[in-house]
Structure 1
Amino acid sequence: MAKKTVQINAALKEKFVIDLEARNFKMKIDQPVAMGGNNEGPTPLEYFFFSLGGCICTVGRIMANQKRIDLKGIEVRVEGDLDLDVLLGKDQLQRAGFQDIRIYTKIDAPMTKEEKEAFLKEIDARCPISDNVEHSSPIKLLIEE
């Protein structure tokens, strides 16, 4: 088994601004002004969907290279619905996460609809982000001093 450890660093600053570092990249998370933020970056939920859409595109490119498919591009739109009352602490009976996640995909390649459906199904099976959503990995919360 080939293992790889992935690591990011996140540091909460003023209000909801969070500075992010991954390898040599720096980004920000924030909330819209209407939610008390400064609107300096996407929200954590939007980054989550970026991760899912990006993983689908990346795995699609890997598979196309492996299968020698002339893949010109993949466009992905990810959306989902969640109960904000749970997030805001008003309801503890429902799930905090998305009730469902919808992924709309356009595949620009010389493939039939059936071939695209099979290709997308294999992408989903090989995408680590999809796998973590569909089969939750244990999360260990550790305190560092």
Structure 2
Amino acid sequence: MTTASATHLGSIIDATTAAVADNVANAHVVFRASGTPEYAVGSAIALGGYTVHVDEPQALGGENTAPNPVEFYLAALISCQVVTYRFWSERLGITFDDIAIDAEGDLDVRGFFGLDDDVRPGFTAVRVEVAVRGPESPERYRELQDAVDAHCPVLDLTKAPTPVETTLVIA
């Protein structure tokens, strides 16, 4: 991370800490997304001012025009890990020269297709590999990893149950 970006991140951390200390309601943020069908099994997802496209490979009925939902999950996990590593390296005063993160997940499609109700429809395992290079000791990088694993929001979505309420609106 460059000195300029570390300084900018440091001021954001300080400003957020102060805002939450002044009023804990400032800690609550709501993120939104909405989607509509596209192609055979794809979708267009509106995320703020952005639109992302989601599809499935041909073997799963799609046209392979975009990443599939579980690939987006892996992308969300990796991107959240990158942000969280950068945030916590700043907080802990741990420097690194480079970081690269890879993730892969195992999925048994029998669960999704309803071929075996004993097989879960989601990932049965996810593996994340973080390669970090820099001047710190291995112990310091393990300290950083522990902080990231304890505070990464997308990792938390997988590790801890999150209440989800689904409402069907029939027009």
Q: TM-score, normalised by structure 2?
A: 0.79
1:65: how far off?
A: 2.2
Aligned-residue identity in percent: 23
Cα RMSD, aligned residues only: 1.5
Aligned residues: 145
1:37: how far off?
A: 1.3
Unmatched 5+ residue regions in structure 2? 1-23
CA distance in 2, matches of 1:26, 1:80: 25
In the alignment, is residue 25 of structure 1 matched against residue 36 of structure 2? no
CA distance in 2, matches of 1:33, 1:82: 16
CA distance in 1, matches of 2:100, 2:48: 26
1:82: how far off?
A: 2.0
Matches for 1:58-77 after TM superposition, within 5 Å: 58-77=83-102
Aligned AA (2:124): Q
Which is higher, the Rg of structure 1 or of structure 2?
2
In the alignment, is residue 42 of structure 1 matched against residue 67 of structure 2? yes
Matches for 1:122-133 after TM superposition, within 5 Å: 122-133=147-158
CA distance in 1, matches of 2:78, 2:62: 25
Measured at CA, do residues 30 and 58 of structure 1 come closer, stay the same or move farther in structure 2, by a change above 3 Å? Answer: same
Name which of 99, 104, 119 aligns with 1:94: 119
Unmatched 5+ residue regions in structure 1? none
Tell which deviates more after alignment, 84-93 or 112-121: 112-121
Q: What secondary structure is seen at the aligned counterpart in 2 of 1:77?
A: strand
CA distance in 1, matches of 2:94, 2:142: 14
Residue 104 of structure 2: aligned partner: 79
Q: TM-score, normalised by structure 1?
A: 0.92
Q: What secondary structure is seen at the aligned counterpart in 2 of 1:116?
A: helix
Conserved? CA contact 1:69–1:109, under 8 Å: no
1:123: how far off?
A: 0.3
Residue 7 of structure 1: aligned partner: 32
**1:5-42 residue CA offsets vs partner (Å, 9 max, x unmatched):** 01111111220121011111111000112322111110
Conserved? CA contact 2:89–2:144, under 8 Å: no
Conserved? CA contact 1:28–1:41, under 8 Å: yes
Q: What secondary structure is seen at the aligned counterpart in 2 of 1:125?
A: helix
1:73: how far off?
A: 3.1
CA distance in 2, matches of 1:73, 1:3: 32
Residue 136 of structure 2: aligned partner: 111
Name which of 66, 82, 85 aligns with 1:57: 82
CA distance in 2, matches of 1:72, 1:7: 34
CA distance in 1, matches of 2:93, 2:118: 49
1:128: how far off?
A: 0.7
